[in-house]
Amino acid sequence: MRPARALIDLEALRHNYRIAREVTGAKALAVIKADAYGHGAVRCAQALEAEADGFAVACIEEALELRAAGIRAPVLLLEGIFEADELALIVEHDFWTVVHSLWQLEAIEQATLSKPITVWLKLDSGMHRVGLHPKDYPAAYQRLLASGKVAKIVLMSHFARADELHAQSSTEQVAVFEAARQGLAAEVSLRNSPAVLGWPKIHSDWVRPGIMLYGATPFEEANAVADRLQPVMTLESKVISVRELPAGEPVGYGAKFITDKPMRIGVVAMGYADGYPRQAPTGTPVLVAGKRSRILGRVSMDMLCIDLTDVPEADLGSTVELWGKNILASEVAQWADTIPYQIFCNLRRVPRLYSEG
């Protein structure tokens, strides 16, 4: 059997969720959209259900998968409905839904619902992606109440630059939000992972930890709370071939790496078809036989090459950690000029093996 695999530490997942609760004192929706950022939404939800205040997914398809697996906790649809007929499923399965546009509000007003629903009313406070304009926000809140079809409203917005700890954007967005919600009696939800970790003064009755659940930092700089997170996924494989090459020999497609001395090269069963970033350059760190080494040359579809020159104990069958508890996903992402969100979400083909730590 091909040795590439992703090891998922569910106790680390719970540890990271508890940090979100501890540092904010707020209720927390565990964000498990995009198949829990590649970690497996059902298994992650099952691991967290006993203590999570609820879950957040992108769309109703992801929410229905959780209900089919027996998850009964609240589930919020972060993108809300795409068609009015989804409201019947929201009622049937007790989902919560974001309302971020006037047409979604109108769909609720016009729908025949057997019981009222919970709505998270989203304000565009400056990200300019989705959300109601500040001038429409108070009236939308009043219309939802007047409809008689809403049991509870949570007021929410989303930060565009909370991962930039010295930017003023988040403070400016909070000011827009506070002005728009004046006189509206409801709980609020503002803080995503970077705001949970790096913006402790922002009030939020509900927080929405996402990337931090999986043990990766959203920041490019050190952060004391982020340093307490535990990586949940370890992506690993094994050395399947060893080459002894003299100086001046090319390695991999396009001859992007040429040996500058006699070198020992290991071939690893891992490639971009597994989700490892193709753009990861020579020098991207790996751990082989318990020692740090590096990738050499281009990542190919099913294989990549690593430097074994200074790791004489590594040989055929040696375990290679591509990212995990020793080689952080955020470090790999920086080398590959991407973000840990993307490399987690790109995981495919590799079997996931779950453990309690």
Mean pLDDT within 236-250: 98
> What pLDDT score does 281 carry?
98
pLDDT higher than threshold 90 for residue 357:
no
> What pLDDT score does 60 carry?
98
Mean pLDDT within 338-355: 97
CA distance 303 to 286: 14
**Pair (208, 115) in one structural domain:** yes
Conformation bin of residue 338: beta by default, left when phi > 0, alpha when psi is -120 to 50: beta
Boundary of a domain, candidates 176, 192, 217: 217
**Pair (286, 147) in one structural domain:** no
> What pLDDT score does 69 carry?
98
Conformation bin of residue 84: beta by default, left when phi > 0, alpha when psi is -120 to 50: alpha
> What pLDDT score does 293 carry?
98
**Pair (201, 282) in one structural domain:** no
256 is catalytic: no
Q: Considering just the CA atoms, what is the radius of gyration of the chain in Å?
A: 23
pLDDT tens column, 21-75 = 999 999 999 999 999 999 999 999 999 999 999 999 999 999 999 999 999 999 9
33 is catalytic: yes
> What pLDDT score does 159 carry?
97
Residues 174, 180, 182, 186, CA torsion sign:
negative
**Pair (42, 154) in one structural domain:** yes
pLDDT higher than threshold 90 for residue 240:
yes
Mean pLDDT within 133-147: 98
CATH number, domain containing residue 244 = 2.40.37.10
Local confidence band at 10 (pLDDT 50, 70, 90 cut-offs): very high
Looking at the DSSP bridge assignments, the partners of residue 241 are 267
Calculate the average pLDDT of the chain. 97
List Cα–Cα distances, 10 to 39, 60, 103, 230, 306, in angstroms: 10, 25, 39, 10, 29
Looking at the DSSP bridge assignments, the partners of residue 119 are 97, 153
Residue 133 lies in a domain: yes
Catalytic residue chosen out of the listed positions 17, 33, 141, 341: 33
Query: DSSP state, 132?
Result: B
**Pair (212, 237) in one structural domain:** no
Query: DSSP state, 248?
Result: T
270 is in an annotated binding site: no
pLDDT higher than threshold 90 for residue 157:
yes
Residue 291 lies in a domain: yes
**Pair (81, 204) in one structural domain:** yes
**Pair (331, 237) in one structural domain:** yes
Residue 226 lies in a domain: no
Mean pLDDT within 84-112: 98
Mean pLDDT within 238-243: 98
Residue 35 lies in a domain: yes
**Pair (346, 276) in one structural domain:** yes
Residue-number span of the structural domain to which 301 is assigned? 233-355
**Pair (191, 256) in one structural domain:** no
Query: In sequence order, which residues have a C-beta less than 8 Å from that of residue 97 and are 6 or more positions away?
Result: 76, 77, 80, 81, 87, 90, 104, 117, 118, 119, 120
**Pair (34, 81) in one structural domain:** yes
CA distance 234 to 32: 18
**Pair (17, 160) in one structural domain:** yes
pLDDT above 90 covers a percentage of the chain that reads 99
**Pair (254, 138) in one structural domain:** no
Local confidence band at 164 (pLDDT 50, 70, 90 cut-offs): very high
Query: DSSP state, 253?
Result: G
> What pLDDT score does 182 carry?
97
> What pLDDT score does 41 carry?
98
Tell how many helices (H) and how many strands (E) occur in the chain.
11, 19
1 is in an annotated binding site: no
Q: Tell me if residue 154 falls in helix, strand or coil.
A: strand
> What pLDDT score does 45 carry?
98
> What pLDDT score does 110 carry?
97
Query: DSSP state, 198?
Result: H
CB atoms near residue 222 (< 10 Å): 8
What DSSP string runs through 182-221?
Answer: TT--SEEEEEEHHHHHH-TTS--SEEE--GGGGT--S-SS
Query: In sequence order, which residues have a C-beta less than 8 Å from that of residue 212 and are 6 or more positions away?
Result: 16, 19, 20, 193, 196, 197, 218, 226, 229
| Residue 353 CA to its chain's centroid (Å) | 19
Mean pLDDT within 206-221: 96
pLDDT tens column, 292-302 = 999 999 999 99
Mean pLDDT within 85-96: 98
Let me know: does 98 contact 79? Beta carbons within 8 Å: yes
The whole-model pTM stands at 0.96
CA distance 288 to 267: 11
Strands (E), the chain: 5-9, 27-28, 30-31, 55-57, 75-77, 96-99, 117-122, 150-156, 187-192, 206-208, 233-245, 250-251, 257-258, 263-268, 285-288, 291-296, 304-307, 319-323, 352-355
> What pLDDT score does 183 carry?
95
> What pLDDT score does 88 carry?
97
Let me know: does 163 contact 194? Beta carbons within 8 Å: yes
Which residue shows structure tokens 């972060």? 78
Residue 174 tokens, joined: 């909070």
Torsion from C-alpha of 229, 337, 34, 130, nearest 10 degrees: 100
Catalytic residue chosen out of the listed positions 214, 238, 253, 325: 253
Number of domains in the chain: 2
Mean pLDDT within 202-229: 96
